[in-house]
Structure 1
Amino acid sequence: MAAATQSAPAPAHELVYEPQQLPKLRSNYGAYLDRTSVGWMKETPIDTPLEEMRRRFDEDGYIFVKGVMPREDVYDVRQSYFEHLAPTGILKPGTSARDGIFNVGQDPIVHNGVGGKDLPDDIERIDRLTSAHTMPMYVGLLEHPKLRTFVREFMGWKKDVLVKRTLLRHNVPNGLSTGIHYDRIFLRAGESEFLTAWVPIGDCTAEGGGLMYMEDSTEIGKAMEADFMKRAESFTKEERINGFNMNMAKDGQLSHNAHELTQEIMAQGFGRTGTSRKWLVGDFKAGDVVFHNPYMIHGAVKNEDPEGRIRLGTDLRFYEEGAPLDERWMRSVWRPDDGL
């Protein structure tokens, strides 16, 4: 009898991560998503050829890259951040800042760290959220050579520019998470397109408040933006570039209810005939980065981490050096009163 032959394992960049069980997930408001409307993001190892990475990005609107930065480098930032916020009482007594476990005896609304216009009236706490954007450990993450080199090589840029207004955000369990939107809403003043990088600062399971993406939604985002610009023809330039104008929700988001938004998109003719797109989620590890285009529709899953971990992440926007960018985002680091 001839010996059985074993097929060679697939190259790492061809593997797709598919966990066995999808968890129950929801957005800020509305019912839990039916598991048939949720799927897993494709994972792309860092050693994947650039041509394949670019193909996936063009086809899917995002690329979920594993191991862009060393795990411990990212966890050092997480520890520094929660040491900075520890005086607010956000951490569970007896736990480490590196773990970032929420103190369940505290009010999630009081400890909301999403930012924008939904922060509580606590000057000391807001000062800590603002000053966190200039902590040396965080600034080091923004300049991390492995991250910045990857951006330049992936985009084919000689030099890159990271906008000064980065968004360093935490979501406590059962608190308010980031609403659903596409990034162009908030960066309309620049003529050039940009690349967004979402960096989870620490491990973040699918139910732990990470990002979720509407499947194949780039064209929907572009259609929504074209519709907005048509309705905004009579606006002043300032009104058109403002993400909080009369044509948008009060916080600039498309929605805080993923199920409801899916139904609205289908009803408006943006969706596929007779079917709806899935919401794609991931099991994020420290060092991973998700890159997406300006029109990909996304938002955060409500944090229901079973271990009580606080989701911490940062949103970064990159342009090619010399490109006409949104200068409003270059004025300073994030402030809750900056109007953006």
Structure 2
Amino acid sequence: MEIPRHLFLFNMAPASTLQTSAAQENRHITTQLQSNGFMLDMSDKRLGWLTPTDPRLPTEALREIFGKQGYLFLKGLIPAESALEQRRHFFESYQGTTLLEPGTTPEQGIFSGEDPDAHSDLQINFYHKTTASVYDFAKRDDFLKFCQQSALREFLLKFFGEEPFLYTRKIIRYNLPREEHSTAVHIDRTFLRDASPNLVSAWIPLGPATVEMGSLMYLEGSHTIGIDMEEDWKQVNRDLPHEEKINPYNVNMGEGGAIGKDAPAIAEKYDRRWLVADYEPGDVVLHTPYLIHSACQNQDTDMTIRLSTDLRFQPASETISQRWLNDWAIGDKL
């Protein structure tokens, strides 16, 4: 098995990271967190905070932290206004629908609480207006410029040590308050098996994304588990045709290519904590394709819609997934 070069660093102690802020130390989550209807264990044994890393650290230090944690939580890596601008643009396309609360601004992104069926695409369970869909937004020129902005590109150029390659397929997610579903537990490698193992996922909040809004969460130190999972699946799939081997929905895979929906049970199984964060505009999380992650349901009392994008980058000189060279489209299942 080809092991990603950054993952040779598992046993190294992480270099200096940003100190946990006083606000985070005193942060008390009063909401009972849920994920796909399952109640998370809120004890210190099963729930913790992501550790932020200063993006200005030397490259080798950043790689050490990435290898140890499986992620880099980069505070303020990109201009906050660039993320908020995309939030405005996205929700402006829904003006004239019942999605947003009357009297609020697109940048606020406040859900009206109205029946969202008029905006639903049952195939993927994310709500959008048919004539201004998330798929179309992901192909807009201004959104592409956002994904290719210099702050992100220059960081990845330094991190990879070569030109970063951005995949064509870019995902937009928005999570409405009171929805009963959320992102299932999974690893990204399942969906990009024909890509370089040195690929990284970039999760970028487009606006605020507090814990209560259903922010992304990572199973602590689970990137080693993810490598073992994919190795097991590789053996199980070994007799399938090539296209089926790399298919995240082949006969040997779970529903939707996921590990499962019961996030609390998975934390118990591996005796790990789910790590959460209050993400702000300008933050970026980079994680390995083997790191197990999921999300909570949006339970924000102010009815704020959580909006985010998922991008995939890798060193340009390495093997590129052919599946992800196409635009995101209805029915492609990622």
Q: Give TM-score scaled by structure 1 length.
A: 0.86
How far off is 1:106 after superposition? 2.6
Pick the structure with greater CA Rg: 1
- Which residue of structure 2 aligns with residue 42 of structure 1? 51
1:33-64 Cα offsets, whole Å, 9 max, x none, are 32321100001133333332221111000010
- Which residue of structure 2 aligns with residue 163 of structure 1? 167
- Which residue of structure 2 aligns with residue 73 of structure 1? 82
- Which residue of structure 1 aligns with residue 125 of structure 2? 118
How far off is 1:300 after superposition? 1.3
- Which residue of structure 2 aligns with residue 326 of structure 1? 321
- Which residue of structure 1 aligns with residue 243 of structure 2? 238
- Which residue of structure 2 aligns with residue 229 of structure 1? 234
The 5-angstrom pairing of residues 1-340 of structure 1 reads: 13-17=17-21, 18-23=24-29, 24-36=32-44, 37-107=46-116, 111=119, 117-118=124-125, 125=130, 128-157=133-162, 159-175=163-179, 176-263=181-268, 266=269, 271=270, 276-331=271-326, 333-340=327-334
**2: CA distance, partners of 1:110 / 1:31:** 29
* Structure 1: runs of 5+ lacking an equivalent: 1-11
Q: Does the Cα contact within 8 Å between 1:22 and 1:39 map onto a contact in 2?
A: no
Letter in 2 for 1:168: I
1:100-123 Cα offsets, whole Å, 9 max, x none, are 01111233x66568x963357x8x
Letter in 1 for 2:150: P
Q: Does the Cα contact within 8 Å between 1:76 and 1:137 map onto a contact in 2?
A: no
How far off is 1:192 after superposition? 4.2
How far off is 1:127 after superposition? 5.4
Q: Give TM-score scaled by structure 2 length.
A: 0.87
Counterpart of 1:134 in 2: which secondary structure?
coil
Q: Does the Cα contact within 8 Å between 2:202 and 2:286 map onto a contact in 1?
A: yes
Kindly tell me: are residues 25 and 112 of structure 1, through their superposed partners in 2, closer, same or farther at Cα, counting changes over 3 Å? farther
How far off is 1:87 after superposition? 3.6
How far off is 1:151 after superposition? 1.1
Q: Does the Cα contact within 8 Å between 1:88 and 1:125 map onto a contact in 2?
A: no
- Structure 1, 302-311 or 283-292: larger mean CA deviation: 302-311
Kindly tell me: are residues 217 and 239 of structure 1, through their superposed partners in 2, closer, same or farther at Cα, counting changes over 3 Å? same
* Structure 2: runs of 5+ lacking an equivalent: 1-15
How far off is 1:156 after superposition? 1.6
1:214-271 Cα offsets, whole Å, 9 max, x none, are 00001111111111111112211121111112222221111122112234xx2xxxx3
Number of paired residues? Answer: 314
**2: CA distance, partners of 1:26 / 1:33:** 9
Q: Aligned Cα RMSD in Å?
A: 2.2
Q: Percent identity?
A: 33
**1: CA distance, partners of 2:55 / 2:194:** 33
**2: CA distance, partners of 1:49 / 1:306:** 40
**2: CA distance, partners of 1:110 / 1:258:** 30
- Which residue of structure 1 aligns with residue 12 of structure 2? none
Which runs of 4 or more aligned residues in structure 1 lie more than 6 Å from their structure 2 counterparts after TM superposition? none
- Structure 1, 26-35 or 51-60: larger mean CA deviation: 26-35
